[in-house]
Structure 1
Amino acid sequence: MSEARETATSAFVAPRLTEVCSSGQSGPDLLDLSSSHFDPIATCAPQDCCDAERVDIRKDYGGKIVRKANRYAPPQQLVPHRMTKARAVPMPSNSVLAPLYAGADLLDAFAVQLPAGVSDDVEELARAALERQAWWIRALTRVRDVVMATVAVKSSRAVGLAAAARGPVIGFFPVLSKSATELVVGADDWHLDFRVAIQLRANAANGRELVAGTVVHCHNRLGRIYLTTIAPFHRVIVQASLEQAARAMKI
């Protein structure tokens, strides 16, 4: 008779939770299987009551029923991480660099979707993209400086120091112009001239995006060889920098 009662009780309790949230009875009364107040039907599902207590029924080695109450905490639903990816876009037609597009040796642009509520300060966004670069980008820049020093091309440090003496810089890039929605950095050297426009604009999804457009004009054979060599790295670095800005500015 006792075994039948234990089996019947276990069948009711095992798949259910004792209802503490809506019952007027106390937790210990509800968990006492020998109490006349125990009602195995008075239960709630895990999703219905976050204050419920789970009844864990086990038998010890002597065959005695062991009752243990475990506080139930609803499992947190994991939200998948959605990394914002940069993508290739046409060069902005309204950029101040538009007159330089004709005859350019390199002309490309990339854009990244910005999270809602981020700053509308284009300089702050440009700094997030160009000053918080990944270690591998800094390593590639050092390699570039060492190699190009052999042909008398200015290092990134030299460009930045010279520019800082004349005006503002972002990273090691001299700031050449700035408006409410666009900031241009760049430098001239004997092998090539380059310009990068960082532009903040609305997109078709009723949000905002950050665009980086690059224009390069080569002066000689060295400039063209250099550009051909670095172009694949340039595209990867620009996209990674935009994605870094989107992550850094996320609130």
Structure 2
Amino acid sequence: MSIPKKSILSEYSDNSYFCDSFSKKIAYNNQSAIEVFLEIASQTPTWIAFLMSMRNSVVSKLGLKDLGGLQDIPRDKLASEYAVGERVGIFTLVSSTENEVVLEDCDKHLDVRVSFLIEPEGETAIIHANTVVHVNNVFGKVYMFFVTPFHKIIVPSSLRGLGQA
């Protein structure tokens, strides 16, 4: 699925090496986009945490940074306390509005941006998990070759943890 036009990442996806979007309808209680992301991160399944641990172990030997785990967020910090430029789990906060949060991780090999866009529909909402990757060199392409199949399993599985509509 392509990045929704309403997303901040829509234009950023132009000329990207990789982009996708997964969606889920949820019960909506006026939660902000960053609250949705924090809920997803805090409910990271064990098998995803294991895969991230394996990723970190392998890529740190190849000169990439150890990102930690998606679930590595302080439990006592409120969503409203995060500031642009601050780390939120494995990502850095780029922007945060009520309806969309944009996070990124960049290195010399690739630039990754993710967003969680909320489209309210009364007591329900559609959550769009968007990912855009720009590669900077051949190593970034090789990395994406191995990561892409896992990404296409991990993101939908992470969305399943959100409350049903």
Query: TM over 0.5, yes or no?
Result: yes
| Superimposed CA distance per residue, residues 209-231 of structure 1 (whole angstroms, 9 cap, x where no aligned partner) | 11111000111111101101110
The structure 2 residue matched to 1:118, chosen from 29, 35, 50, is: 29
Q: Find the counterpart in structure 2 of residue 240 from structure 1.
A: 157
Q: Percent identity?
A: 25
2:85/2:93 contact within 8 Å kept: yes
Shift of 1:167: 4.4
User: Are 1:217 and 2:134 matched, yes or no?
Assistant: yes
What does residue range 43-122 of structure 1 map to in structure 2 within 5 Å? 89-115=1-27, 117-122=28-33
RMSD after superposition: 2.6
Name structure 2 gaps, 5 residues minimum. 74-81
Distance in 2 (CA, whole Å) between partners of 1:246 and 1:91 is: 22
Shift of 1:114: 0.2
| Superimposed CA distance per residue, residues 14-72 of structure 1 (whole angstroms, 9 cap, x where no aligned partner) | xxxxxxxxxxxxxxxxxxxxxxxxxxxxxxxxxxxxxxxxxxxxxxxxxxxxxxxxxxx
User: Are 1:194 and 2:112 matched, yes or no?
Assistant: yes
Shift of 1:135: 0.4
User: Are 1:145 and 2:56 matched, yes or no?
Assistant: yes
Q: Find the counterpart in structure 2 of residue 128 from structure 1.
A: 39
Name structure 1 gaps, 5 residues minimum. 1-88
| Superimposed CA distance per residue, residues 97-139 of structure 1 (whole angstroms, 9 cap, x where no aligned partner) | 2222111111100001102x43422111110112320000000
What secondary structure is seen at the aligned counterpart in 1 of 2:68?
A: helix
The one-letter code matched in structure 2 to 1:221 is V
Q: Find the counterpart in structure 1 of residue 77 from structure 2.
A: none
Distance in 2 (CA, whole Å) between partners of 1:156 and 1:132 is: 18
Shift of 1:191: 0.8
Number of residue pairs aligned between Structure 1 and Structure 2: 155
User: Are 1:184 and 2:96 matched, yes or no?
Assistant: no
2:33/2:118 contact within 8 Å kept: yes
Q: Find the counterpart in structure 2 of residue 34 from structure 1.
A: none
Distance in 1 (CA, whole Å) between partners of 2:157 and 2:13 is: 24
Q: Highest CA radius of gyration, 1 or 2?
A: 1
What secondary structure is seen at the aligned counterpart in 2 of 1:157?
A: coil
| Superimposed CA distance per residue, residues 152-203 of structure 1 (whole angstroms, 9 cap, x where no aligned partner) | 1011139x89xx9x84333221111111200001111111000001110036
TM-score by length of 1: 0.56
The one-letter code matched in structure 2 to 1:244 is G
Distance in 1 (CA, whole Å) between partners of 2:89 and 2:66 is: 13
